[in-house]
Each structure stands twice: as structure tokens, then as C-alpha cells.
Structure 1
């Protein structure tokens, strides 16, 4: 008997990956299908996901629980950089894909699989992120991407195909057709009525992790987050690992409607797309981190780090997690975090994260210097000499302008030597 080749399928139990198993059987009957569900904090019943994969035709199912690894080795790297794509998107999906790819390759090696399959569409960023990451780890693995091959052209047709194969859709219908991606950092919503930018999002129908601003409490809540070298380590005095920290902040932030954005973004593949993102805990963390950095980083480092943070977000968004440039950025960012230690107090109120105080032994803010009173460390008279030197180029510029307009103010003669 000829041994079948194996394919590892990135499996979530959602619409796209659920129909891929019967489709692979119909079109690649000689492949042994191994489903791999990488748990990065999506709120799914993994037992049901496993059963669904088996009942759909998978020969084996791996469930890889990597939630804490996802937070501490991926999300926290971006947090230290203050990375946000186009100044809004906190990269929830983009951080998850390279870790998912890493686990898919590990399972493929364990099983001796020649192929990896995924359910990313041919219009999305994730196909690039997954396949680039896989190629960065093991370029010999071949990819099967059904959305780029089959004749299914819409989610409506995908639903019809699922129904023809008796696949349980778990509440997905042509009326509730949003495409969602969730992990412990965020949940994204795309498709349906959101595809028309003239439509206002129906947040009451869409939101999963968060209250609407209207339903958020009328009384604010104070929290304190302690950081050590740029990493959040305590919430309200309680030490928490990455997974528990983000889970706790998601709950608190979700209550107060924190971190909900409606974003029209520029995709990697060249088109614009619209999505609703809920990132309650991540929004709280990045705002707290920014406040603390403003307290402990000197001006030039802070300003240059803003530039690096923007480029860092672009690299992550654009599937370059395993690039040498990102590694170099990580080294720079880590060097800036040595003094980012302290505690930040925040007030959460109806979608807003308000600064409420902070303390750090590494603070560069000095009340004696910054106050209006004269102290020993700063003599206000010294400012006169500083201003004279600082303004010198602008004085010369103005004098030249006066000379050129005929209002002679100063004689400056330059000539070539013979």
C-alpha cells in the first residue's frame, strides 16, 4: 500500500477552514489531512473544534495552546515599540500569524508533512504573512491555498458549499456574515454591511469583547499598571504573566468600551479595506506605556523611537516578522526600555483612557526644575545666553533678508581670492 502524503491544515473551525477539509478530500483524495488549531486566545471550545475537524474528515487534530507565548514573545515586543499601523491598528492579527506559522511548521516536521494548507483569501494580508513566515522557517514546505484555486468566489457561496457537505456553521448565515478573527489581543470584524463605507457600523450587533460607549458605566474606574523595563508585570499590585494580564485588562477595558475603532486601512496587497477592531486590553497597555516613556526617556531617544515605532508597525503588518531589519529594531527598542520601569495610574471612562498619575525612580521630570519657581538646578537668567545662541541662525537669515531688500543693516562682504 502506497503511503499517503500529508498536509497540515491551519484549522480554526470557522467557515473557511471548515469547508477546506471536504474540499481537499474532493480534490486531493490522496492526501492525509491533519488539522492544526493554534490557540492564541480565541474564545472557542477546543473540544468542539477538535470534534468538528474529525467529523469533517481530518485524520488527526493538534491543538497547540500558545496564549502566553503569544503575549510575551510577540505582543509585548510590539508594545515596547508602541507599534500601531496607520496610528490606529494595534496589529492583533499580524502578531499572531508568524507564531501560527511557526507551530504549523513544527507539526509538519513532526508528521513528516510535505504540505501546509490555509484558509486565507486571495485578497487578504494573512496569506502573505503565513506563507512568508513559513518560507522563513522552512522554504521546502509547499503551500496549498484553496481560496486561490477553487471556484468559490464569496462567503455566500462558501456557506452553500458547507451546507452541501453538512458542515455545522455555528450560527454563521448569509444574514450574519461578518468575517471575524479573534485572539487574546483583539477581535476583528470585516465583511457584510461594513464593505460599504457609507454605512455606519451597528456596534450593538457587531461588538463581542466590548460595551458600546453608550452602554459603558457612567462612573469611571481607576487602575494601576506596573512596568519593569517596558514589560507590564503587575495590575493593581498583583503580579500577572502576559496571558493573565491581557485577559484581566480585556475584561476591565471591555466594560468601559475601550479600544474600539472603525478603520479604513491600506492593505499589504494593494487595496483598501474596512474593519472594526476591538482591542481593549492592548489599548490600555500601549497608552500606559507611552505615558511612562514620556516620563523616563530623554527627548531625542523618544522622538527617534516614535519613527522606529511607526516603521516597526509597518514591518509587522507587511509580513516581515522574521526579517533582519525587525531584529535590529528589536535590539534598539530593548536598549531604550532599560529605564522604562515604574507605575502608571489610569482612569477608564466611556471609551477613554485618562492619565491619572505615575511614579518612577528613573523619571527625568524634576519638579524643582520644571516648576515656575527658581531653584538651585536652574537659573532662569541662563536662558538669555541660550536664546542668543539658539536664535543666531535665524538672526543671520533675517539680516540677509534686510540686506537683499535694500534695508542695509550690516555689512558682510565675501569675495573670491585672486
Structure 2
């Protein structure tokens, strides 16, 4: 900190303000921690969508990159030139920006993952530049309960491990993520694993729909595959969407109500596909059986899911929110992270890979899960209580590592001088 008794200046850094509910859920959890444990802290945000974040949270915010701050050019060539200039300008801009802060926190999120399309000189470059700038300006940087997988591209591995190596604190949301960083060459011997930050969010009050039909939360996403699938992206999206539409039609025919939930603005295209199909094929049922309200936060999404009986979801944080609420859940998984959390909740048999989704099997899994709901829910509640206790213990560690606060018997994880 700048001086004795001065208020710590804290910046949250990440792909925030872009509408991704999972990212915002992680921010919500860390905001609650800082405000509760360090109420004198001055909070800001360095993010992808500063205007939207300020609107939602009232927190002073600035863009991560020069290009985000200044916008595209009037032509494609102008935009390309601006992007190229921005990469160079950010080398100067980022240190100037981060010298305003004492602590920079990357709250959760899959920041070291390549499960979706990703280019090295976008987010990975910005992440590395943040860690380097924080080190140069004397700020403590922290990756808190983040996700990772082994990146195939050498450039991505170098940027990811470089960013992590320069940090003052690192923790991961599962053993798989920590092991992935180790396999990419990072010394993780002093890094810890804690549950995803979403498990620290408050649970909404259960609600009743007041209707006799059972309600299914159907979480959808605009899935186009990974970096390796770019040539087939449209084909992958069309195949996934068609299967979701087919399953939704089956649910309606079987007498269920459907609450469609999303996690990113891009997912709305799949919601519209489901509505369009049912308006055409089941026009007399669509208004009564289909709900498609958008949520602005992970907390709002959890409020929506509080009123459903079973959840079938694709996006990781849709699955996570359902598990947090102890809802019987099926995961249509696009990454190992979803498989891990389903295994931890003892629901491993109720999942499918997204690229080989089989609707007939999904229906079988759905029926089996409903039949076993009375036994799976108590186990989920016990695991949720365990997660909450673990996250509380981590808050003591974070306070010591980032703010110098006492923690009793807990040991701070500070690797700033260790590598």
C-alpha cells in the first residue's frame, strides 16, 4: 500500500462488462469479499466493457486495451491498423494504468482455458501485459480460483505461464486446472485449489410456479467449437442447435414447462431457434410452456433456476448455478471443467459431450435423474456446505496475501518473490 493507514486501491481485471454471466458471478463473489473484509478499499475495474460495468455496478471502470478504448476505424483496413497500433500502445498504456492500484484481482473465470475460440494476441496477450505491468509498478496481482487447460499452441502456453508466473497469488477452481498449468511449465507447488467462486454467492429464496406442470431449466449456448474447429464452426453450431430444439420439443410433448436460460448475449440465437420451432410445430402450447426471460447477472439466473425442478444445461456457469442450488442437473459438456464439477457432485453419469450429443440418450438420462432426485439432492446439499466452508477459509488467505491482514492459523500464499 502507498502509506500507513491509506485505503488500498483495488482493481478487478477481466472480460467483464461484456454480458457473460459466469464472469460477472465471479466478480460478484470477489466484490462481496473485498467489501466485507476490507470496507475501506477503493474499488475500480479494468475490463472489456467499462460503460456497461459502470451502469450495472456503479464502479469506476476503464477499458483493458487501447483499441477497446478508442474503437474500430471507419474501414476494415483502418481497424486492422488500429489493432496493430494498439498492441504497441498497450505496452506503455498498461503500466501507466496499473500504477494507480495496489492490488489487481482476476476474479475466477476460465482465464487460462482454450475450450472456446481464442487468439494469442487478444485476451492472452492482455493478461500477460497486466501481470508484467503490475510487477513493474509494484502492484500485487492475483489469479483467484481460475480455470485452465493445457494449451496446444506454444504462443498461448508462453503467455499463460508468463502471466501466472509474475502474479503475487494464484489459486485454481479444480485440481485439473492446477495440473494443466504445471504441465505447461509453471511451478505450482505453492498454489492451492478452492471451489469455483460461484459457490460463494448467496442462494435465492426457493419459489413455486403455482402450476401443476414440472418445470425444466434448459440452459443453452451459441456453441461453435474450439480453435481446432474453426473450419466447421457453423456446422457445429447448427448441429447443436437442432438437437436442443428436438429435446425442447420432446419436453413440451411430455407435459413439461421449459425455462430457457443463457450465459452470454450470443446465446439468444439458440433461444430464438427454440421459440421459432415451437411456434411452428406446437403453436397452441408455446405461450403456456415456454419462458425465455434474460438475466443480467448470475444472481438473477439463480433466481430463475430456483423455480425449476430439473436442469439440463451447456454453459459451465449454468451447470454450476444449478448445482449451487442443489437442483438435479444434466451437463451437456464442452469442457473438462463441467465434467469435474459433475463428478464432485456425484452426478458423473448425467453428462454428455456437447459435440456428440445424443438426444435419445439425453431423454433416458433425464428420466433416470428424475427418478433419483430424492437421493441426489441431499448429497448435493452436503457438498455445497463443504464448498462454502472452504471459500471462507480462502478469504483469510487472500486477506493476508493481498492486504496484509491477520489470519490466525491460516498461512498466506505469497509467491511474489518465489519464482
Fold agreement, TM-score > 0.5: no
Larger radius of gyration: 1
- Of structures 1 and 2, the one scoring higher in RCO (CA 8 A, sep 6+) is 1
Query: Which is richer in helix?
Result: 2
